[in-house]
Amino acid sequence: MNDMNISFSIDDLKIDPAAETQRIVTALRTQLRSRLRKRGLVLGLSGGIDSSVCAALAARALGPERVFCLFMPEYDSDPESLRLGQEVATTFGLSSVIEDIGPSLAAMGCYERRDAFIRQVVPDYGAGWSMKIAIANALTTKAYNISYLVVRRPDGTVEKHRLPPEVYLGIVAATNMKQRTRKQLEYYHADRLNYAVIGTPNRLEYDQGFFVKNGDGAAM
């Protein structure tokens, strides 16, 4: 569970980027050396904005030689994500390694469990399909947010289905295995290097409840 009580306003966007960068960089150095007594930082680098910003801040704080990045693709990953992540690492001169977590997730039944829940709503869902969970009118409604399953058939046809609560929870539970598996590998490399793990969630994820305990936020 996430019991953090965080509120936001438009004033939160009124920042001095240079000053905030320096504040974060100083905080990283202080926590790492004074409190944690670690030699560097490990992070999972997906190629997205959140982890890329964290990689840049870590490199600024410690120097690129003290930052180690993991690329952790799996069977549902877009190859473009790996390319972008590697480009970020190259840009900042960061050491990195690829850890393919697809076989581990398959062995744990991640995909099989998820697909079994999806088939409760879309019985013929299978190989060659893609899916995502969406919230209807997320920015405009003041009522309860309703979750929908959006699927794309192999022929390109897109369908949207209302999700019963038990199916929604089952899909989320299976999908969350991905983030937690990635974090296990980050801590493995952090332990062997005597580094700390840097978290990569953003404030919107806390605000909207899109936060996996022991996932992206498991850090330091």
Mean pLDDT of the region 167-186? 95
pLDDT band at 212 (very low <50, low <70, confident <90, very high): confident
Mean pLDDT of the region 176-193? 96
pLDDT at 179: 93
- Tracing tokens 């952090």 back to the chain, one arrives at 190
Instruction: Tell the burial category of 92 from Cβ atoms under 10 Å away from its Cβ (0-12, 13-18, 19+).
Output: middle
Taken in order of first residue, the domains within the chain and their CATH numbers are 10-106+176-208 (3.40.50.620), 112-169 (no CATH)
pLDDT at 216: 75
Q: What is the value of pTM for the model shown? A: 0.85
Our measurement of the distance from residue 96's CA atom to the centroid of its chain's CA atoms, rounded to an integer in Å, reads 17
pLDDT tens digits for range 45-77:
999 999 999 999 999 999 999 999 999 999 999
Could you say which DSSP state residue 164 is in? Answer: P
Helix (H, G, I), strand (E, B) or coil at 196: strand
pLDDT tens digits for range 119-148:
999 999 999 999 999 886 655 555 566 789
Mean pLDDT of the region 97-122? 98
